[in-house]
Amino acid sequence: SAVISQKPSRDICQRGTSLTIQCQVDSQVTMMFWYRQQPGQSLTLIATANQGSEATYESGFVIDKFPISRPNLTFSTLTVSNMSPEDSSIYLCSACDRAHSYEQYFGPGTRLTVT
Amino acid sequence: SQQGEEDPQALSIQEGENATMNCSYKTSINNLQWYRQNSGRGLVHLILIRSNEREKHSGRLRVTLDTSKKSSSLLITASRAADTASYFCATDAGSNYQLIWGAGTKLIIKP
C-alpha cells in the first residue's frame, strides 16, 4: 500500500488569499485525486490530477479556483485561490494504482479555515 | 457525485456488541469498498468486494453484497472502543478509477 503525506496539516487563512496544499506519495501511482469534505459529511471529488496534463474537474469546480499540478507520478498540489469562508473544509488527497484496482489510499487531510 | 446511501446515519453500541451498517447504491457496479475514517483523519481502506462475490471476511469484518437489491452490509463483530469512527461505502464509477461515496455511518462504541 502507498503512504501519502500532505502539507500543511491545517491552516487559518485570510479571505482573498490563496493556499497551496502539497500531496506526496511514497511510490509511483497511476491516479491521484483531490477531495473536499465538510465536517460530518461525505467526500466530494474536486478533480483527478493527471500527470503531465491538465486536471479533470468535476461539476462545480473550476481550474481558476482550484488549480492543480501533477508534475510526476508521486506528487501533486492543489491551490485554493481567492479564498472565502465557504472554502473552509478538509481537503484530502488520495491515490490509487492499477495494480490494486480501485482501492484508494488517503493522505491525512488538510484542515482549512478561512476568516 | 454520491450514489450510496448508508444507514443508519449514526450508531451507538456497547463494547463487545456487533455493529451492522448498510449501504445502498443506484447503478451497476464492478466492486464496492468500505473505508473507515477516524475523527479528523484520512480514510483507511477496509475491504473490497467484487460484483461476483456475495460475502467477504477480513478479521472481525464481514461484508455482504446483494447486487439484485443494490445493497451491501458491513458487520463488525465484537466491537472495540477503537472501532469508533465513520464508515463509508464507495462504488466504482465505471471509469477513470473514480469512486462514488456513500453518506457514511458514524459509529460510537461505548466502553
Nearest chain A Cα distance for residue B46, angstroms: 9
Largest separation between any pair of C-alpha atoms in chain A: 42
CB distance from A105 to chain B under 8 Å? Answer: yes
Separation of CA B15 from chain center: 19
User: What are φ and ψ of residue B20, in 5° steps?
Assistant: -120, 130
Q: Residue B7 corresponds to which cell in the numbers above?
A: 444507514
Are residues A109 and B40, on separate chains, in Cβ contact within 8 Å? yes
Q: What is the pLDDT of residue B2?
A: 47
Beta-carbon separation of A102 and B48 below 8 A: yes
Cis peptide before A85 (omega within 30 of 0): no
Name the one residue in this structure whose C-alpha cell is 489510499: A105
Least CB–CB distance from A108: residue in B41, B98, B99: B41
Chain B, window 77-96: residues with a beta carbon less than 8 angstroms from a chain A beta carbon: 88, 90, 92, 96
Question: Are B43 and A56 an interchain contact pair (Cβ–Cβ within 8 Å)?
Answer: no
> Closest-CA residue in chain B for A33?
B98
Give every residue of chain A whose pLDDT is below 50, as ranges: none
Euclidean distance between CA atoms A76 and A22, whole angstroms: 6
Question: Which three cell numbers, joined as nine digits, stand for A52?
Answer: 503531465
In tens digits, chain B (111 residues) has pLDDT values of: 445 678 899 999 999 999 999 999 998 999 999 999 998 788 999 999 999 999 999 999 999 999 999 999 999 999 999 999 999 999 987 767 889 999 999 999 999
Q: Is A92 on the interface with B (CB under 8 A)?
A: yes
- In the prediction, which pLDDT does A100 show? 66
pLDDT, residue B4, reads: 66
B48 touches chain A (CB under 8 A): yes
Q: Alpha helices, DSSP H only, in chain B?
A: none
Q: Do A104 and B101 touch (CB under 8 A)?
A: no
**Sequence-ordered list of residues with C-beta below 8 angstroms from that of A77, at least 6 positions apart, any chain:** A20, A21, A22, A23, A68, A69, A70
Strand order in the sheet with B71-76: B5-7, B19-24, B71-76, B61-66, B55-58
CB A56 within 8 A of CB A45: no
B99 in reach of chain A (CB within 8 A): yes
Are the CB atoms for B87 and B107 separated by under 8 Å?
yes
A102/B40 CB distance under 8 A: no
* Measured distance between the N- and C-terminal CA atoms of chain B, rounded to whole angstroms: 36
Closest CA in chain B for residue A107:
B42
Q: Return the H-helix or E-strand segment holding A79.
A: strand A75-80
